[in-house]
């Protein structure tokens, strides 16, 4: 029983400790998902435990991702009236953000000389993991690599969002939420939830709609990748 629960116990303990750390040292670089991931990787390397062994005992955490995303509907419902009053700018922002997210990934990958399969894996980097993996597979990409790029985009957005909002002078909670939800999906949304309820609700909405937009734009994506 201990062996089969090793991954879950390790992950929960490390995450709990990193949450405590983040509360004491409120800095983007101490975000629990960033620090906890680094700690787990370091521990596995130091103890010579394979990722396969760790994952086999921690995979049940992955099944909680779906319910966790669905649970985000509650803060969205609480802020619905507020978000409704900004319907037009929110819709335009999400649409432009989704296009820029995909376009920037494809352009950068082409400039770096990635092959077609890797480019197809990078394209859906800004949408939530399950959808990104399906989109990548439909485009001829590699789903696990797509998931890796999604994590990089998510953690990168969560770490940099505060700094970028200060540099750009964007302080409106809904504007910040739309930007981080469109660019950094669930990981960014978790950070937005910490900052403000309206920011978290806007990020949830942006994350959901941008995923549907990118999935619906598959034919255009295929044309873009072919050129």
Mean pLDDT computed over 15-30: 86
Query: Residue 17 above 90 pLDDT?
Result: yes
Query: Residue 225 above 70 pLDDT?
Result: no
Q: Show the tokens assigned to 55.
A: 């994952």
Query: Residue 210 above 80 pLDDT?
Result: yes
Measured in Å, how far apart are the chain's first and last C-alpha atoms? Answer: 53
Rounded distance between C-alpha atoms, residue 7 and residue 4, angstroms: 8
Closest by CA to 183, choosing from 102, 86, 69, 70, is: 102
Domain ranges of the chain: 6-63, 73-226
Query: Residue 219 above 70 pLDDT?
Result: no
Q: Kind and range of the H or E element at 187?
A: helix 173-195
Query: Residue 55 above 70 pLDDT?
Result: yes
Query: Residue 146 above 80 pLDDT?
Result: yes
Neighbouring residues of 150: CB distance < 8 A, sequence distance ≥ 6: 124, 125, 126, 127, 128, 129, 132, 185
């Amino acid at each position: 029983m201990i062996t089969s629960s090793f991954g879950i116990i390790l992950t929960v303990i490390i995450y709990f400790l990193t949450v405590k750390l983040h509360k004491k040292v409120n800095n983007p670089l101490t975000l629990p998902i960033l620090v906890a991931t680094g700690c787990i990787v370091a521990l596995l390397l130091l103890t010579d435990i394979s990722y396969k062994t760790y994952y086999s005992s921690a995979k049940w955490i992955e099944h909680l991702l779906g319910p966790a995303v669905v649970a985000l509907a509650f803060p969205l419902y609480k802020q619905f009236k507020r978000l409704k009053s900004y319907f037009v700018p929110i819709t335009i922002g999400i649409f432009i953000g989704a296009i820029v997210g995909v376009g920037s990934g494809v352009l950068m990958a082409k400039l770096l000389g990635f092959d077609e399969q890797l480019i197809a894996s990078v394209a859906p980097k800004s949408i939530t993991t399950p959808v990104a993996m399906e989109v990548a597979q439909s485009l001829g990409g590699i789903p696990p690599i797509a998931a890796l790029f999604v994590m990089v985009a998510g953690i990168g957005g969560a770490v940099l969002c505060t700094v970028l909002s200060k540099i750009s002078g964007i302080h409106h909670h809904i504007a910040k939420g739309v930007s981080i939800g469109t660019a950094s999906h669930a990981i960014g949304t978790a950070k937005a939830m910490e900052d403000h309820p309206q920011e978290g609700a806007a990020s949830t909405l942006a994350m959901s709609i941008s995923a549907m937009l990118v999935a619906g734009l598959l034919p255009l994506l295929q044309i873009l990748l072919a050129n």
